[in-house]
Amino acid sequence: MTTAAGAALSNVGLTVLSEEEELFRSSVREFAEGEVRPRVEHMEQAAKLDPDLIKQCFELGLMAIESPEEYGGAGSTIFNAILAIEELARVDASVSVFVDVHNTLVTNAFMRWGSDELKKKYLTQMATGKVGAYALSEAGSGSDAFALSTKAADKGDYWELTGQKLWITNGNEAEIFIVFATIDLSAGYKGITAFIVEKGFDGFTVGKKEDKLGIRASSTTELIFDGCKVPKENVLGEVGKGYKVSIETLNEGRIGIGAQMLGIAQGAYECALKYTQEREQFGQSINSFQAVQFQLAEMAVEIEATRLLVYNAARLKDAGLPFLKEAAMAKLYSSRCAEAVASKAIELYGGYGYVKDYPVEKYWRDSKIGSIYEGTSNMQLQTIAKLIMSGK
């Protein structure tokens, strides 16, 4: 193990934070409690993020955590990024996934695959005010991501994109999109290429916003490409190598989703713990009953196990060590944990848990997407099985 790897993995139990990490976590929690929480109910009802909150995310540096300092970012770690994602999801999953996708997918893709010119142009903008989105999914390509049909035609001095993308997070807010299209349908995954599309490009429009079960303030939209003109220099990576861009970016993105689910579980648990202290039945608080205590204990165990998996995957990534299996495990387990803990929180609230006057039903609705986006639970199981069977 290298010195850097050893340093990254030196924290006892992985959940012990350095002083710098603890300060960062505290600053994000202060923002989440002071600025996000008062807006949650209104954003949920409006199904839209508060524009002032988006502006504050940029001002606080939450939109450029890993981005290099030379491009206006903090030059920090994936571990700090997942701390921010976790703390935001503890209060509101919609704000969390907004920050998550911008950092772990879009910024990550530029850092790994962008030329110096593209990094200077786009990472600088994304650090200061322009939101990013990642456009891979289509109606006919979900888990089979490489069955996409959006086409890219070489027109000499520009590329022309034609097709449609679905379920794109940050679709309404974003001004910079990483779009995957194929230059040759017959070539299969070898024809896929990643393009950088700006909101104002000719032939590009943002379509309808989906009316969702959870993460309702987060915009999930369709994108329409009707002869969209993309400059030749706006290819991210190599022509025909878009499949590598997507796969390797999503590997890190899964850690971000794991952190989001961890935050949801933590938030639901804290609500349940507080409520059981306040709620009285039979002349005493319900948390004095052993049955309730055991349920709270089970929730705490699941959350701690999830935290270890998520933090471990992030530490491995920062250390430059293999993390694919650990990221898949973290996403799989965290999505199960969030849904189970939020469901148990509803039950502990009783009838109050089932109505929108109380927060736990929202945590459950927000949790459900964790087993679907950035790779379904079945796809995570497939990845884990493949790696363990190969001896990795």
Angle between helices 377-389 and 324-349 (to 10 degrees): 140
State how far the Cα of 2 lies from the Cα of 5, in Å rounded to an integer.
5
Token code pair at residue 164: 């449609």
Closest CA to 315 of 103, 81, 84: 81
Active site residue 326: no
Q: What is the DSSP string of 328-372?
A: HHHHHHHHHHHHHHHHHHHHHHGGGGGSTTSTHHHHHHHHGGGGT
The full DSSP string for 309-321 is HHHHHHHHHHTT-
Contacts of 143-149 with CB under 8 Å at 24 or more apart are 143/375, 143/376, 143/378, 143/379, 145/246, 146/188, 146/189, 146/192, 146/243, 148/180, 148/181, 148/182, 148/192, 149/182, 149/185
Query: Alpha-carbon distance 105 to 113, whole Å?
Result: 12
DSSP state of 226: E
Rounded to 5°, angle at Cα 152 from 147 and 158: 160
Q: Which amino acid is at 327?
A: A
Distance, in Å, from the CA atom of 260 to the CA atom of 262, rounded to the nearest integer, reads 5
Residue in 173, 252, 326, 374 annotated catalytic: 374
297 burial via Cβ count (<10 Å: 0-12, 13-18, 19+): exposed
SS3 content of the chain, % helix, strand, coil (to 5): 60, 15, 25
Q: Which residues pair with 174 in a beta bridge?
A: 131
- What string of DSSP letters covers 8-42? HT-STTTTPPPHHHHHHHHHHHHHIIIIIGGGHHH
Would you name the residues annotated as active-site residues?
374
